[in-house]
Structure 1
Amino acid sequence: MSASFVVVGIGAAGWNGLTPDAHRELEAARIVYGSARQLDLLPPVVDAERIVWRSPMSEHLAELAESAPDAPVHVLASGDPMFHGVGASLVRVLGADRVEVIPTPSSATLAAARLGWDLARTVVVSCVTASVDVLASRLTDGARILILSRDATTPADVADFATGRGFGASPMAVLSDLGAPHERHHTGTAATWTGAPSSLNIVALDCVGPVSSRAPGLDDDEYTHDGQLTKRPIRALTVSALRPAEGQTLWDIGAGSGSIGIEWLRLLDGGRVYAFESDPERARVVAANAQRHGVGDRLVVRGGAPDALADAPTPDTVFIGGGMTPRVLEHAWSALRVGGRIVANAVTRETERLVADAADRRGGDLLRLSVEHAAPLGRSTAWRPSLPIVQWTATKTEDNA
């Protein structure tokens, strides 16, 4: 074995559920890391030093990844180590050539088998480190969701959250200790669910409730705001212009209520937003709106631009809504990676001149967006125009950098 770390997935079935390869690896191990529960599953034939993860585990794991062992270090993980597990964390830090992974079926795989669900058509959401708010953008009539639980309290939190969102009639199952001789299943609905699962459980929710969409353009009243909100039609066009893509980082400058970054994140599973807002109360509202819409774990609120831009991670995409100045625009463009995309919305004559000048120097497209709403006028109805928006979009290249 040439890898520095060998990660072995172990389920509730323990030693008897492991493959012969996993047995051989662990029997030859010198040091084995894992949780107390996982280490207790190993029989005496594994004559290795057993080290329980310190809390927080993430810091202990980071220390282990930085070490330079003279012999392979063995690590126990729950089920499939590459599915929301330690194996994926080590590979991300060290590279695949330094990590050998020996998996067992994940809890999601076992749950789908027990339920008869097609795993390819099932949404899997982790609440191991995130709150149940992450379900917000996933709940829609007809969806089947498997939720990885943090502990025995997660099922009740899921049931309360789903019921509060209008999904109380949804059939719900909680599967505990999957693969073990003492495996248990509790069934009911979200509104009526009661049970006492073990801390090792997964929740299955067969959604019955309102239809919702992840498409951009949520109703304005879905956000708390003080008027600093990109209105629904312009927001939908702006998020579309930003072209959300998996794994990317967005800077939302002059975030206001956070609606642009939030709807950008709702379309993605792995993106991250850095929202820059100088007003402390608005910054608080941005965080609260993000939590409400299930993306709070992927949105970071910072201070105002340009000062707070200095040490932020390099963006793949930049949106500038409020607080646009020559300095902010130049700093954002300089920070944007080559190949990245910028979208800036101008409302005032001063910011219109800024984006027009940027388009002259950097290229890209200028659009003038005007929206009118039908509204009462006496006993009749007339069109009420909103303030027009001038939108600049451009892609950074080697030529215009």
Structure 2
Amino acid sequence: MRFILIGISDTSNYHPEKEVTSLISKSFHFSGGKRHYERVKHLLPEEHQWHGITIPLEPVLMGYESLDSIVVFVSGDPFFYGFGATLKRRFPNASFQNFPFFNSLQMHSHVINLPYEEMMCVSCTGRPWDRLNRALLEDQELIGVLTDRKKRPEVIAKHLLDAGYDNYEISVGENLGGTSQRVVSMSLEECSQQTFAPLNNIILKQKQSRDFTIGVSNDQFTYLDGRPNMMTKPVYRLHTISLMELHCRNVFWDIGFCTGSVSIEAQRLYPKLKCISFEKREESRSIIEENIKKFGVPGISYTIGDFLSLDHSQYAKPDAVFIGGHGGKLSEILSIVDSYLPANGVIATNAVKEESARIFIDKLLELGYIEQANSKIKLDDFNPVNVIVMRKSNKLK
């Protein structure tokens, strides 16, 4: 199977190079979107077959399987969040010949005379917010974003503002390379109140960096009913997070988040981590939302409800879990967590009561865990806290 991938612009007077023209003239099978056909049909041989690329893609890809060779037209660069990557995954043994054009973020940068060698490029086209959130948490100075019909420029601008990121300017590029091309720069606030042409992308340029400190002091958080002592102290948070080795973890569950302080600290330190937080108290909803915005951690997802009654299968499986509150149901919670945690996954807690520490250790030893860390820390006049981390054995029980 041979794929000839040709990237084109949105200009109506598309003129390919001679090598591409020669390949087109010798081919019979062609593929692309509806608007691609309008751009290139004058170049195709009189005898040809067009395979339209439509959603869902599966019938299109199945149609390719019986062919020896096909020319596929795409917008811009086939391997920049493009159809080329899809074809490589589906046809790993096929041969590829690639003739790329500028991708839309390159064209956008050319219009505004922007040096883009350090731009972080992310796609929101049919994708969740994860990559954009990570770029924000990493304090990227320049972020190029591919949009779609749901995550439009005004929606993305509002997403940043809701997450507390008002420190960016936005440039919107519409119909880049086409006759109706338009590029406008504005504030996020202005962008959030406008609508734009369907074909667009955006470039976010940082005005100033956000303040970042490791170990947020408790007085900076919004806390529950004016009770700051219910929060996990910065020393305990940082010590526990370091022991859990979150730099090499993927999904982190924070059970009994209260104010969200542990999730927020973990997410700020490890932007690629997927943080999922659980809390029984309804009053914690507004508290974690305020703290998420205050500290700029839009990647955290949270659920309000009794952890024991939830359908846990709907959440991404964790490889690290922190239990901050258990309401006297610690053993039951550990049993549930164990059923989802993979081998070498870790569970941690900060236990003030010796009874809680004993139940935590005994239950997990019974389930085949290994004690990874157990230290007692006393801070000022507060009661000592047991910081405990248990690792799930990779051996069968």
Fold-level match, TM-score > 0.5? Answer: yes
How far did residue 68 of structure 1 move?
Answer: 8.4
Q: CA RMSD in A?
A: 4.9
Aligned equivalent of 2:206: 207
Instruction: Supply the distance in 1 between the matched residues of 2:215 and 2:246 (Cα, whole angstroms).
Output: 11
How far did residue 365 of structure 1 move?
Answer: 0.8
Q: Residue 140 of structure 1 contacts residue 207 of structure 1 at CA under 8 Å; is this kept in 2?
A: no
Q: Find the residue that maps to 1:365 and give its secondary structure.
A: strand
How far did residue 11 of structure 1 move?
Answer: 4.0
Residue type at the aligned position of 2:353 = T
| Equivalent residue for 2:241, pick from 203, 226, 239 | 239
Q: Find the residue that maps to 2:394 and give its secondary structure.
A: coil
Instruction: Supply the distance in 2 between the matched residues of 1:27 and 1:281 (Cα, whole angstroms).
Output: 68
Aligned equivalent of 2:318: 315
1:369 and 2:368 correspond:
no
Q: Find the residue that maps to 1:364 and give its secondary structure.
A: strand
Between 319-328 and 25-34, report the one with greater CA deviation. 25-34
Distance of aligned partners of 1:218 and 1:8 in 2 relative to their CA distance in 1, 3 Å threshold: farther
Instruction: Supply the distance in 2 between the matched residues of 1:53 and 1:158 (Cα, whole angstroms).
Output: 26
Residue type at the aligned position of 2:207 = V
Distance of aligned partners of 1:249 and 1:158 in 2 relative to their CA distance in 1, 3 Å threshold: closer
Q: Residue 91 of structure 1 contacts residue 99 of structure 1 at CA under 8 Å; is this kept in 2?
A: no
Between 176-185 and 73-82, report the one with greater CA deviation. 73-82
Instruction: Supply the distance in 1 between the matched residues of 2:286 and 2:273 (Cα, whole angstroms).
Output: 21
Instruction: Supply the distance in 1 between the matched residues of 2:159 and 2:343 (Cα, whole angstroms).
Output: 42
Q: Residue 173 of structure 1 contacts residue 187 of structure 1 at CA under 8 Å; is this kept in 2?
A: yes
Aligned equivalent of 2:388: 392
Instruction: Supply the distance in 1 between the matched residues of 2:243 and 2:79 (Cα, whole angstroms).
Output: 34
1:110 and 2:107 correspond:
yes
Residue type at the aligned position of 1:235 = R
TM-score (norm 1): 0.68
Distance of aligned partners of 1:10 and 1:284 in 2 relative to their CA distance in 1, 3 Å threshold: farther
Q: Find the residue that maps to 1:273 and give its secondary structure.
A: strand
Q: Residue 216 of structure 1 contacts residue 264 of structure 1 at CA under 8 Å; is this kept in 2?
A: no
How far did residue 239 of structure 1 move?
Answer: 3.2
Q: Find the residue that maps to 1:362 and give its secondary structure.
A: strand
Q: Residue 255 of structure 2 contacts residue 324 of structure 2 at CA under 8 Å; is this kept in 1?
A: yes
Instruction: Supply the distance in 2 between the matched residues of 1:99 and 1:229 (Cα, whole angstroms).
Output: 58
For 1:276-295, list aligned pairs within 5 A. 276-278=278-280, 282=284
Q: Could you report, residue by residue, the CA deviation over 1:125-169 in whole angstroms, capped at 9, with x for unpaired residues?
A: 44445579956972898822333334699445566676785847x
TM-score (norm 2): 0.69
Distance of aligned partners of 1:261 and 1:192 in 2 relative to their CA distance in 1, 3 Å threshold: closer
Instruction: Supply the distance in 1 between the matched residues of 2:339 and 2:175 (Cα, whole angstroms).
Output: 52
State which structure, 1 or 2, has the greater radius of gyration over its C-alpha atoms: 2
Residue type at the aligned position of 2:373 = D
Residue type at the aligned position of 2:325 = G
| Equivalent residue for 1:185, pick from 148, 166, 183 | 183
Between 363-372 and 23-32, report the one with greater CA deviation. 23-32
1:347 and 2:344 correspond:
no
What's the % identity of the aligned pairs? 21
Instruction: Supply the distance in 2 between the matched residues of 1:203 and 1:330 (Cα, whole angstroms).
Output: 46
Q: Residue 53 of structure 2 contacts residue 60 of structure 2 at CA under 8 Å; is this kept in 1?
A: no
- Structure 1 gap ranges (5+): 55-59, 373-384
Q: Residue 140 of structure 1 contacts residue 212 of structure 1 at CA under 8 Å; is this kept in 2?
A: no
Q: Could you report, residue by residue, the CA deviation over 1:65-122 in whole angstroms, capped at 9, with x for unpaired residues?
A: 6888433787665434444445546666x47446958454333333445555554533
Q: Could you report, residue by residue, the CA deviation over 1:294-342 in whole angstroms, capped at 9, with x for unpaired residues?
A: 6656736486148644565443322222226223324434532233333
How far did residue 192 of structure 1 move?
Answer: 6.6
- Structure 2 gap ranges (5+): none
Residue type at the aligned position of 1:202 = N
* Paired residue total: 379
